[in-house]
Amino acid sequence: MGKKASVTSSFSDIDPLDPESGEVNTIIDTPKGSRNKYKFDEQHGLFKLASVMPAGSVFPFNFGYVPSTLGADGDPVDVLVLMDEATFVGCLVPSRLIGVIEAEQTEKDGKTVRNDRLIAVAADSHEYQRIKSLGQVDENLMDEIEHYFVSYNEIRGKQFKPLGRHGPQKAAAALEEGIRLYRKQRGRKKAVKSKAGKKKR
C-alpha cells in the first residue's frame, strides 16, 4: 500500500507548492463575480465575511492566496486565478504562475507597503491553458484588472499604486520571498514558545 498523505489541521498548514507537480496551491477566498470579500479566520478555523462591495463592483476572477506564505503587508501572498468558472470559498486550486502586478498599498494610517498581486492560471483551465506568461493576456483585460484593484482599495479608504507588470520568473521570485518570510516568522514563533515552555518549568 502507498504512503498515506498527512491530513492538515488548518489552511495555514498546507504547503505552498505541490511536491509532485510543482503547481502552486492556491486557496480561493473570494469567488469570481462576488460582491462579498471573505477572509480565513485562524481563531475559528473557517472563512468569515470581511467586507461587502458596493452594487456593481464584483471580483473579476477567483481571488485567493498561497498558504504558508507571508507578504510585506503581513497577510499571505495574494493570487488572482484565471479560470473558466467561479469556484467556492475555501476551494484549493492547483495553479501555474504567469506573472505579477507589482504594487504599493497605502493603508488608512498612511503606512505604505508592497502588496503585489500574483496572476496565475488554474492548472485544469480550458480557456486559459495556453497562457504561459502575462504578456499573452489581452492588455485591455490587464488594464481592467489593475483598475479593479485600484478602485477596490479606494472604496476601503486605501491607495493601490501599480508599479509594473512582469512575467512568471518575477512571480516565482515573489512567491519564494513570501515562503521565506513565512518560515522566518514561524521560526521566531517557535523560539518564543520554546522560551515560554522553559520558564514554566
Taking the CB of residue 24, how many other CB atoms lie within 10 A of it?
25
Which grid cell sits at 145?
484588472
CA distance 101 to 116: 6
User: Does residue 154 belong to any structural domain of this protein?
Assistant: yes
pLDDT per residue rounded down to tens, the chain (201 residues)? 445 554 444 676 799 999 999 999 999 999 999 999 999 998 888 999 999 999 889 999 999 999 999 998 899 999 999 999 999 999 999 999 999 999 999 988 999 999 999 999 999 999 999 999 999 999 999 999 999 999 999 988 999 999 999 999 999 999 999 999 999 988 776 655 555 555 555
Angle at alpha carbon of residue 111, lines to 144 and 35, rounded to 5°: 35
Give the DSSP letter string of 35-86.
SEEEEEETTTTEEEEEEEPPTT---SSEEEE-TT---TTSSPPEEEEE-SS-
Domain count of the fold of the chain: 1
**pLDDT reported for residue 10:** 65
Query: Residue 57 has which C-alpha cell?
Result: 463592483
- Under DSSP, is residue 189 helix (H, G, I), strand (E, B) or coil? helix
The answer to whether residue 153 sits within a structural domain is yes
Q: Has residue 177 been placed in a domain?
A: yes
pLDDT digits (tens, 9 = 90+) for 3-15: 555 444 467 679 9
| Owning domain of residue 56 | 11-190
- Is there a contact between 61 and 81 (Cβ–Cβ < 8 Å)? yes
Does the residue 2 lie in any domain? no
* Residue 7: per-residue pLDDT: 47
What's the pLDDT tens digit per position in 185-194?
Answer: 887 766 555 5
> Is residue 200 domain-resident?
no
Q: Which CATH number does the domain housing residue 38 bear?
A: 3.90.80.10
**172 within a domain of the structure (yes/no):** yes
Does residue 4 fall inside a structural domain? no
> Model-level pTM?
0.88
In a domain, 199, yes or no: no
Q: How far is CA 58 from the centre of its chain?
A: 17
Stated length of the chain:
201
